[in-house]
Amino acid sequence: MASDRDHAPDGNAPIRPYDKPAGGWDALKSSWDALRRQDAVLRGPGTLLRTNQPTGFDCPGCAWPDRNPHSTFEFCENGVKAVANEATSKRVDRDFFAAHPVTWLAQQTDEYLEAQGRLTEPMAYDADSDRYVPIGWDEAFAKVAAALQALSSPDEAIFYTSGRTSNEAAFLYQLFVRAYGTNNLPDCSNMCHEPSGVAMTEQIGSGKGSVTLDDFEHAEAIFVFGQNPGTNHPRMLGELRRAAKRGCRIVVFNPLRERGLERFTDPQSPAEMLGGGSTAIATHYFQPRIGGDLAVVTGIAKVVAERGDDALDRAFIDAHTVGFDAFVAHLRATDWDAIERESGLSRAQIEQAAEVYIDSRATIACWGMGLTQHRRSVATIQALVALLLMRGNIGKPGAGPCPVRGHSNVQGDRTMGIYEKPSEAFLDALAAEFGFAPPRAHGFDTVDAIQAMHDGRGKLFFAMGGNFAAATPDAALTHAALRNCALTVQVSTKLNRSHVVHGRAALILPCLGRTEIDQQAGGLQAVTVEDSMSMVHLSSGMNAPASRALLSEPAIVARLGAATLPDCGIPWLELVEDYDRIRERIARVVPGFEDFNARVRAPGGFHLHHPCRERVFPTPEGRTRFFVHAVIDGTSATPSASKPLLRLMTVRSHDQYNTTVYSANDRYRGVHGLRRVCFISRADLDAQGFADGEHVDLVSVWDDGERVAHDFRLVEYDIPAGCLASYFPETNALVPLAHHADRARTPASKSIPVYLRRSTTAPIPAASA
């Protein structure tokens, strides 16, 4: 029952296995296509050459750090796509909105909305005409201020942040939100690396990774769990390639064989490009079951423990840890049957990985969403960090935990106080600097915020960037929640789902992008960001703004502050005239930012002190901790169902940035012109009585009933039995709001219990991209 959309736009079959290395000429071609597609108005190649340069802008793509000091352009295909998309020549102006009712826009695909181009002026929803109509900035701020003042409690307002927001905007934003009176500051981190923060803060006293790029040059082994850097952090492949070339062993755990982790042709290397060569990345590649990592890591730890003092770093364990004996007893008591069954790997495979680990004198463990988006994510990360602690792999060159962050400034936003559970010390510093009493009660995270809007406790939703309506779980419930609000406000660069799934009143406030020139009363401004390895550096745009009516994010917050809280004593408009003034305040409030303005102007910026690098562990005991987490979960989170359930992970394709879909291709996985695909093993096809190419509905099963995502083409794939993979956000309808990581509450979008049934609905139209 193949349909039209089963043929790629070029007429070729939609599924064509990709047998080349990642990177190479295809990466260059794909970047070129992205630039052409957007008709990108870049100031020549200069814009790209100044990405991630000491005097340019920070790439809005991912949070992977820059080589510093560096003088040459570091090419990244997906970085080019991110820059090109921001620099598009297409515009969504008042004529566009006049021509299209919002109900009609809401029926269009996410690709369509994104492809219309950059937003140009503030717009307000007009219910009578069902259209967005122009509104002046002053009037827009007055409207938000009035709505905020009309709430019966500040806790009825919710202020979301996505991770592209600069340090300066984020600091001012959280200041405004707290001066207004709430800690309701959910962010994209709640859906992303929250479990890493929760796990590590408890275990080592810091929620951030401790390694730097230099450590990648000294590691003897790098373990990569649940991450697809070839797509999501392409510059990381450069580090892995260098490491592989000097003989570092790279051990990968991923249910899928991701091409970028297997073989890479570095577009930066003329020899490889011209000679047709490539570098093997993984020395060992294991394909565990989805959610099998806790068992994998426990198995490796068991081998290390059994080896005793030959494998353990006794001096480190004695000096810097607590709980070791109980941990070893737990490892002894865990039997191999359980480890093999839960992990999906054989004992021999796990022993092989353990040998590499024991042989290495310095090991880095990297991880991404494959570890964080499960119910037992915190347990899994604590088990992985425990494995590092056993051999003292923290606070020495070439070793340590490396959670690889997503959005380019998601780590910095947290540092600046975008957090629904701020520490007392942070609030005290804020109070002392600005002379007001910040609220102390913790606020809503993302899951709470959706629930609160749904049941009427949340009435006003304000988003600093992102695409809340499409990025969050349980799409139907989330959409109802947003529609239930009195007012929704989106600060955005591009049209997206969150503008067309809106409250009774709605505003779109368009802002400058990272690549654009930011001119304030005090002259040209630069902002700062913090990467995944705690380097803080400047970013200054160089493209002309997409429209003259755009405001910068800091200016939007300042003007909102002035409109809402004119008498609070915070000089909103003065602060934003010159971002140095915001940074002076940050320097006095946020530890580690002393002398911020001077230090950030050094080429490449500065590294935020990470105590664990010196083996100082700011936990209550001053030591790291071994936690015991059973491999078999006593409290099963999978509801009983009449049908056998498979486990679905929702991942990114190569041509998307979170909810932004650049094209319907996923080159390295061999998919062309299709997004509604579901990767499935031969064994499961046979067991379920389906054929490759057939179309199915994905049905997720939960205590409160079933959720359906319609019409996915089954693609036979090298994936363990019992496991499925599809793309997000098409599958977000399937993730129940209540299915999230224990304690960290990150939606468990990598382990959704589903069954398949033959498609019953009409085919979903092909993406318009």
For residues 699 and 201, give the distance between their C-alpha atoms in angstroms, rounded to a whole number: 36
Does position 299 interact with ligand MGD (CB under 6 A)? The reply is: no
Kindly state the smallest distance separating residue 397's Cβ from ligand MGD, in Å.
26
Does position 728 interact with ligand MGD (CB under 6 A)? The reply is: yes
Kindly state the smallest distance separating residue 404's Cβ from Mo ion, in Å.
10
* Length, in residues, of the chain: 769
Which of the choices Mo ion, ligand MGD, none does residue 672 contact, using the CB cut-off of 5 to 8 A by kind?
none
Closer CB to ligand MGD, residue 625 or residue 654? Answer: 654
Q: Provide the β-strand partners of residue 726.
A: 650
Does position 406 interact with Mo ion (CB under 5 A)? The reply is: yes
Kindly state the smallest distance separating residue 112's Cβ from ligand MGD, in Å.
13
Q: How far lies 42's CA from each of 47, 89, 442, 661, in Å? A: 6, 9, 43, 21
Question: What residue type is assigned to position 751 of the chain?
Answer: S
Q: What six digits make up the tokens of 202? A: 């408890």
Q: How far lies 44's CA from each of 30, 117, 657, in Å? A: 18, 19, 24
Kindly state the smallest distance separating residue 91's Cβ from ligand MGD, in Å.
14
Closer CB to Mo ion, residue 192 or residue 379? Answer: 192
Kindly state the smallest distance separating residue 631's Cβ from ligand MGD, in Å.
14
Does position 560 interact with ligand MGD (CB under 6 A)? The reply is: no
Does position 453 interact with Mo ion (CB under 5 A)? The reply is: no
- Binding segment for ligand MGD (CB under 6 A), chosen from 210-218, 298-306, 607-615, 729-737, is 729-737
CB 748 within 8 Å of CB 740: yes
Question: Which residues are within 8 A (CB) of 73 and not within 5 positions of it... i.e. 6 or more apart?
Answer: 48, 49, 51, 53
Does position 513 interact with ligand MGD (CB under 6 A)? The reply is: yes
For residues 45 and 500, give the distance between their C-alpha atoms in angstroms, rounded to a whole number: 35
Which of the choices Mo ion, ligand MGD, none does residue 96 contact, using the CB cut-off of 5 to 8 A by kind?
none
Single residue of 132, 180, 223, 225 touching ligand MGD by CB under 6 A: 225
CB 537 within 8 Å of CB 53: no
Single residue of 192, 224, 734, 748 touching Mo ion by CB under 5 A: 192
Binding residues among 514-543 for ligand MGD as defined by CB under 6 A: 514
Binding residues among 94-113 for ligand MGD as defined by CB under 6 A: none
Strands of 535-539's sheet in order across: 527-530, 535-539, 606-607
CB 85 within 8 Å of CB 662: yes
Kindly state the smallest distance separating residue 377's Cβ from ligand MGD, in Å.
9
Binding mask 742-761 for ligand MGD (x = CB under 6 A): -------xx-----------
Does position 439 interact with Mo ion (CB under 5 A)? The reply is: no
CB 747 within 8 Å of CB 723: no
Closer CB to ligand MGD, residue 179 or residue 500? Answer: 500
Q: Which backbone phi and psi does 672 adopt, to 5 degrees?
A: -135, 125
Does position 24 interact with ligand MGD (CB under 6 A)? The reply is: no
Single residue of 192, 589, 696, 767 touching ligand MGD by CB under 6 A: 192
Which of the choices Mo ion, ligand MGD, none does residue 534 contact, using the CB cut-off of 5 to 8 A by kind?
none
Does position 494 interact with ligand MGD (CB under 6 A)? The reply is: yes
Residue 83's CB is within 10 A of a number of other CB atoms, namely 28
Single residue of 465, 561, 673, 720 touching ligand MGD by CB under 6 A: 465
Does position 404 interact with Mo ion (CB under 5 A)? The reply is: no
Which of the choices Mo ion, ligand MGD, none does residue 466 contact, using the CB cut-off of 5 to 8 A by kind?
ligand MGD
Q: Are strands 518-520 and 460-464 parallel, antiparallel or unpaired?
A: unpaired
Question: What residue type is assigned to position 262 of the chain?
Answer: E
Closer CB to Mo ion, residue 161 or residue 265? Answer: 161
Q: What six digits make up the tokens of 393? A: 């792999």
Does position 191 interact with ligand MGD (CB under 6 A)? The reply is: yes
- Report the candidate in 339, 344, 349 with the shortest Cα–Cα distance to residue 302: 339
Single residue of 649, 680, 737, 744 touching ligand MGD by CB under 6 A: 649
Does position 287 interact with ligand MGD (CB under 6 A)? The reply is: no
CB 617 within 8 Å of CB 611: yes
Closer CB to ligand MGD, residue 27 or residue 587? Answer: 27
Closer CB to ligand MGD, residue 178 or residue 669? Answer: 669
CB 539 within 8 Å of CB 553: no
Half-sphere exposure of 511 (CA within 13 A, CB side): 22
Burial (0-12, 13-18, 19+ Cβ within 10 Å), 518: buried
Binding mask 227-266 for Mo ion (x = CB under 5 A): ----------------------------------------
- Report the candidate in 73, 41, 39, 44 with the shortest Cα–Cα distance to residue 59: 73
Binding residues among 665-724 for ligand MGD as defined by CB under 6 A: none
Question: Which residues are within 8 A (CB) of 530 and not within 5 positions of it... i.e. 6 or more apart?
Answer: 167, 409, 411, 412, 415, 536, 608
For residues 698 and 646, give the distance between their C-alpha atoms in angstroms, rounded to a whole number: 10
Single residue of 38, 174, 206, 492 touching ligand MGD by CB under 6 A: 492
CB 210 within 8 Å of CB 38: no
For residues 468 and 474, give the distance between their C-alpha atoms in angstroms, rounded to a whole number: 12
Binding residues among 350-409 for ligand MGD as defined by CB under 6 A: 368-370, 373, 406-407
Residue 284's CB is within 10 A of a number of other CB atoms, namely 16
Binding mask 141-180 for Mo ion (x = CB under 5 A): ----------------------------------------
Q: Maximum CA pair distance of the chain? A: 76
| Helical segments of 619-708, H only | 682-688
Of all residues in this chain, which one has the CB nearest to Mo ion in the complex?
A: 406
Kindly state the smallest distance separating residue 654's Cβ from ligand MGD, in Å.
7
The helix (H) or strand (E) run that includes residue 507 is strand 505-510
Residues lying near ligand MGD in the complex (CB under 6 A) are found at 61-62, 78, 162-164, 188, 191-192, 225-228, 231-233, 253-256, 258, 288, 290-291, 293, 368-370, 373, 406-407, 464-468, 471, 491-494, 496, 511, 513-514, 553, 649-652, 656-660, 728, 731-732, 735, 749-750
- Report the interface residues with Mo ion, using CB under 5 A: 192, 406
